[in-house]
Every structure is written in structure tokens, then in C-alpha cells.
Amino acid sequence: MTLDADVVIVGDGPVGQTLAIMLAEKEWKVTLVDRWPEPYTMSRAVAFDSEAARILASIGLTEYINTQTEPSGRYSWQNAKEQTLLDIRGVSQGWCHWPDSTSMFQPALESALTARGARLPTLNVLRGHEVVDATDHGSYVEAGCIGPGGERREVSGRWLVGCDGANSFVRDRIGAAMHDLNFSRDWLICDVVLHEARTFDPNNLQICDPARPRTSASAGPGHRRWEFMRLDDETVEELDTEESAWRLLELFGVTPLNATLLRRAIYAFKSQWADRWRSGRMLIAGDAAHIMPPFAGQGMCSCLRDAANLSWKLDLALRGHGDDTVLDTYGTERARHVQHAIRMSVNLGRVICQLDPVAAADRDVAMTAARERGIGTGAPKAPVHPLHGGLLYRGGGARGDRLAGRLMPQAMVRRGNKIGLLDEVVGTGFVLLAGEDPRPFLGAPTLAYLKSLNVRVVSVGPADAPAEDDASVADTDRTYLPYLAREDARAVLIRPDFYIYGMIADSGEYLTLFDDLRQRLGAATAVSERLSTG
């Protein structure tokens, strides 16, 4: 049977688009289906973190980030008396070199993703088609869609990924239930364009006022977001009016005379994750698999991590490397990882959403005391949590365990005359980064195996090293050699999603590391035929 695609993706939101691009960049044939004829024109997310920026840059969105976003800057919490409870000064170069937090207008991000996808010949976008049915036939999946004129159409692929948002149809189809932390609050979201630019300091402000918790946030160049929590004695209908929006915006000096209200909407900030991320040939990613309150700005970032994690495992499965059990590690890794982001967001929410004036006063005393002891100032604690379990090297004993699952930092390196970020200069995919030339320790069979996985073998030398060939870089930022030395690592194997598979402390361990990888991925089998793209 001739299939339409290697992978059918349901949902053309940020996670569906990102996953589609990652797969189509590897020349897999992707059909991306969305129920609406046109993309949604309003923002939900307003910011992404350093790791999300790295993911976006890796799929060709560097220019978008450089020209259409801005660093989010300072993030403060104040109480009702405007006393500072928390003051976080994000740095412009975070763990992945990009800012800790970047402000953006989500439709501009989605347009940039659409434009990137349009340049990939194996990516076919089918808008105006709602997926109403999906059947796993064992060796392929078939999705039934209803088109704009009510006509039915089938779309088939080897795999199907539901990136179909919070009310996911595919999630139901795979029989997943949602774990619920039962933290849910309604907030009125107001997206505003000010008629004249204004400086906000702090640029992002959380007012923890029990009379009305509220937020003022940067939302990308030329955009601002204000959010107001619904009170217990107020109905959704009362809060969700234009009049309420302007009345509340006036608290920040924003009126119809100086601003345009692009839209208002009430969102219920929920905290849930799916108990199953795969069934047979169907998987879920993004909001389909998890939802969290936006207080840590981690919702879409977690979605992008899903895409980064899933894309290389799907690529391996499609290429016929081992069996497809590698895909089970996707849900194992991501479900545990995302729970950290959800719990962190809920913990912040419980503090912010306090409506009891007595409890709020106690909170203010505790947070003020913490600030006096230096807690809650300076750079934010990175929300990036290590991976636990899943596809990680555990052969290195206590030392190896230390780095397995950590996000590899990104810095500038040089190869010959080219200076750039590690991902740009070296390229993405598996990277073996060593403080020595590892090739003499690998041997022909291992080198052949690494070639079959497209592992880039790179030795990093001092800043003034010539680094002229494809297998070396110079550590211009003086980041990587100190990092390896600090961790007592000879080399690290970086996965395509930038998490460390494992480290070795001794050159004699290279073969053990790769034997372990080979075992976990299953013996490399013949590369299967790609679907014809004609």
C-alpha cells in the first residue's frame, strides 16, 4: 500500500509545526493536518526560555529570534503595598546562550515556523481538515478528516502524532487519561498594543494583591499582556466583558485613549499530564499531553522539548535502527520531566493566586524575610530539569550518572575562521564532544556504527587551537574545556535534543559507552527505504 506520509501530524500549532520541520529537514514525508483554514491570530504564550530558543534556532529560526523578539528582562513580584517580594533579573545569555527568557508575539512565531516549513519539499500542510477518526492498522495509521466542504478524506502514514492541543482527539484515541493536580484558576487575559511606546520597569510584574492578583508582562516587540484573576464572588460572565477589561487595565494607566485592546479572553489555568503518550503507532505531544498554569512560562517550552525529544526517536524508528521501543522512552522521559514544570508552575500559582488577606500577609512576611537573606534576587534558577530514566547511559557509575540527562550548555566555538554557536558550527544530531581526539580509541566497527547514526565526532581544543578540520573546534568562549574538567569528563555524548546521553571519565570507556548505546537502540539494522516524495 502506498502511504501518504511517513508521519501524519494532527495540529498545526507550535509543537506540530516544530515537529514537522524537524522530520521534514531529515527528508521524511510529513502531512500536517489542522482543522482551521487559517492559523490562530492571537497569542497565548508570550515568552520562551533559553532552551526553547536553542530548539527554534536549530530548525532555522535564528533570524526570527534576532529580529522579532526581545529579551524579557526583569521579572518582579510585588505585594498590594508595592513592596518587592521577588526580583529576578534574567540574563541575556542563558544556559543555551540565548536569553533566560525571550518575549514574543505567538502569531509571529507561528508565521516564522510556517515560512520555514514552506521551504521543505517533503512537508505537506493540509489546513481546513478536522481529524475525526484514527485507526492503527499495525504497520501504518489512517486518519479520517472532514474537509472544508464536509467531504471526507483519509490520510495515511507510518506514524501519527497528535499535536492537537488541550482537548486532543488523538489523546482520547490512544486511551490516555489525564493526571490532575486539581489546581485551576480563571484569569482574564488582555492583549494590548499601546499607541505610544512606554518603558516598564520591571518589564514583567506580578502583583500579588489578594484583592485582585494581576500581571503586567512584555509580549514581544510592540505588544503587552495584562492578566487579572477572577475573584471568588465574581462570575466568568461578569469578568469577561470589554468594560471589565478596561476598568482593570486602568489600574496600569491603560485606557482606550492610549491603547488598543487586541483581544480579551478568560483562560482556566489547569495542571494536568497524560498517563500515556503512545499506543502502537500513535503518539501525543504538546498541550495534548500536558497543560500547566503560565506562571513559569513553561507550557510551550515543554511542548518544544517534546518535539525535540520525539523527532530524533521517530527518525531512528523510520530509519530502521533497532526496534521501535526507543519510542517508549519518549513518554517515559517527557512525562517525568514535564511534571517538574507543572509542579513548579502550580507552586508559583499557589503563592500568586492567594485571595485570603491573612494568608497573603503571612506570605509577604516570609518572602520579605527570604529576600533580606538574599533569596529571590538575581538570576533565575534555571527551570531546566534533568531527564531521569529513559535513554541514558548508566554505565559510568556515580560519575557517569552525574551528567547523563543534563542539558548540555551552548557557547561560541570556532572552526577555522568560522565563529558561531556550537549547534551552528558543529551541526545538530548526536555529537561526541571530547577534550581529546577520540578517533584512535574508537576502532573501525564503532566508527562505522557512529557513521550509521550520523554521530558527529568532535574534539574541542583551547581558544587558540587551529581547529581546521571537521572533527575539531576551538573553545573560544572558554566554556567547554572548563566544563569537561569540572565534571572530570573525557567526553560527553550529546543527544540530538541537546541532553547528555552519558559521559566517560577515561578514554578506555568509549567502547563501553557506544556498546551501551547500541544495545539500548537495538542492533542497527538495514536502513529502510524512504517513501517516494513524488
Ligand X SMILES: Cc1cc2nc3c(=O)[nH]c(=O)nc-3n(C[C@H](O)[C@H](O)[C@H](O)COP(=O)(O)OP(=O)(O)OC[C@H]3O[C@@H](n4cnc5c(N)ncnc54)[C@H](O)[C@@H]3O)c2cc1C
Per CB under 6 A, 45 contacts ligand X: yes
The rounded distance, in Å, linking the Cα atoms of 417 and 338 is 40
Tell me how far, at minimum, the Cβ of 344 lies from ligand X, in Å: 13
Strands 214-218 and 204-208: antiparallel
C-alpha cell of 336? 517525568
Q: How far is CA 372 from CA 82, 182, 330, 382, 465, in A?
A: 16, 33, 42, 22, 46
Among 4-12, 54-62, 230-238, 483-491, the segment contacting ligand X (CB under 6 A): 4-12
Sort residue 386 into left (φ over 0), alpha (ψ -120 to 50) or beta: beta
Per CB under 6 A, 502 contacts ligand X: no
Tell me how far, at minimum, the Cβ of 148 lies from ligand X, in Å: 12
Residue closer to ligand X, measured from CB, 14 or 390:
14
Tell me how far, at minimum, the Cβ of 462 lies from ligand X, in Å: 37
Tell me how far, at minimum, the Cβ of 182 lies from ligand X, in Å: 18
Tell me how far, at minimum, the Cβ of 254 lies from ligand X, in Å: 18
DSSP assignment string, 161-186:
EE---TT-HHHHHTT--EEE----EE
Per CB under 6 A, 294 contacts ligand X: yes
Tell me how far, at minimum, the Cβ of 196 lies from ligand X, in Å: 25
C-alpha cell of 32? 500536517
Report the residue from 9, 14, 190, 410 that binds ligand X according to the rule CB under 6 A.
14
Per CB under 6 A, 297 contacts ligand X: yes
Residue closer to ligand X, measured from CB, 311 or 472:
311
Residue whose cell numbers read 531512528: 316
The rounded distance, in Å, linking the Cα atoms of 363 and 354 is 9
The rounded distance, in Å, linking the Cα atoms of 304 and 288 is 13
Tell me how far, at minimum, the Cβ of 75 lies from ligand X, in Å: 11
Per CB under 6 A, 70 contacts ligand X: no
Tell me how far, at minimum, the Cβ of 481 lies from ligand X, in Å: 33
User: How many chain residues bind ligand X (CB under 6 A)?
Assistant: 33
Q: What are phi and psi of 190, to 5 degrees?
A: -120, 120
Quote the longest CA-to-CA distance of the chain: 72
Per CB under 6 A, 430 contacts ligand X: no
C-alpha cell of 192? 494590548
Per CB under 6 A, 364 contacts ligand X: no
Residue closer to ligand X, measured from CB, 189 or 412:
189
Residue closer to ligand X, measured from CB, 100 or 324:
100
Per CB under 6 A, 324 contacts ligand X: no
Question: Could you give the 3-state DSSP secondary structure of residue 517?
Answer: helix
Residues in contact with ligand X, shown as a per-residue x/- string from 385 to 404 under the rule CB under 6 A: --------------------
Per CB under 6 A, 36 contacts ligand X: yes
Which residue is nearest to ligand X, using beta carbons? 13
Residue closer to ligand X, measured from CB, 306 or 509:
306
Per CB under 6 A, 376 contacts ligand X: no
Report the residue from 216, 298, 446, 459 that binds ligand X according to the rule CB under 6 A.
298
Residue closer to ligand X, measured from CB, 165 or 502:
165
Interface positions, 218-277, toward ligand X (CB under 6 A): 267
Per CB under 6 A, 11 contacts ligand X: yes
Q: For residues 170 and 162, is the Cβ–Cβ distance under 8 A?
A: yes
Among 14-22, 149-157, 312-320, 354-362, the segment contacting ligand X (CB under 6 A): 14-22
Per CB under 6 A, 517 contacts ligand X: no
Q: What are phi and psi of 215, to 5 degrees?
A: -135, 140
Per CB under 6 A, 35 contacts ligand X: yes
Per CB under 6 A, 491 contacts ligand X: no
Q: Which residues contact 513 (CB under 8 A, 6 or more apart)?
A: 393, 395, 396, 493, 502, 504
**Eight-state DSSP code of residue 532:** P
Interface positions, 138-177, toward ligand X (CB under 6 A): 163-165, 169
Per CB under 6 A, 64 contacts ligand X: no
Tell me how far, at minimum, the Cβ of 169 lies from ligand X, in Å: 4
Q: What is the dihedral of CA 461, 483, 498, 51, to 10 degrees?
A: -120
Q: Which residues contact 244 (CB under 8 A, 6 or more apart)?
A: 188, 238
Cis peptide before 202 (omega within 30 of 0): yes
Per CB under 6 A, 10 contacts ligand X: yes
Of residues 218, 230, 231, 229, the one with CA closest to residue 191: 218
Report the residue from 46, 86, 208, 422 that binds ligand X according to the rule CB under 6 A.
46
Per CB under 6 A, 130 contacts ligand X: yes
Per CB under 6 A, 434 contacts ligand X: no
Report the residue from 51, 142, 209, 287 that binds ligand X according to the rule CB under 6 A.
287
The rounded distance, in Å, linking the Cα atoms of 405 and 390 is 9
Q: Using alpha carbons only, give the angle 147, 152, 157 rounded to the nearest 5 degrees.
A: 95
Helices and strands (DSSP H and E) totals, the chain: 15, 28
Task: Give me the residues that bind ligand X (CB under 6 A), please.
Answer: 10-16, 33-36, 44-48, 130-131, 163-165, 169, 189, 267, 286-287, 294, 297-301, 303
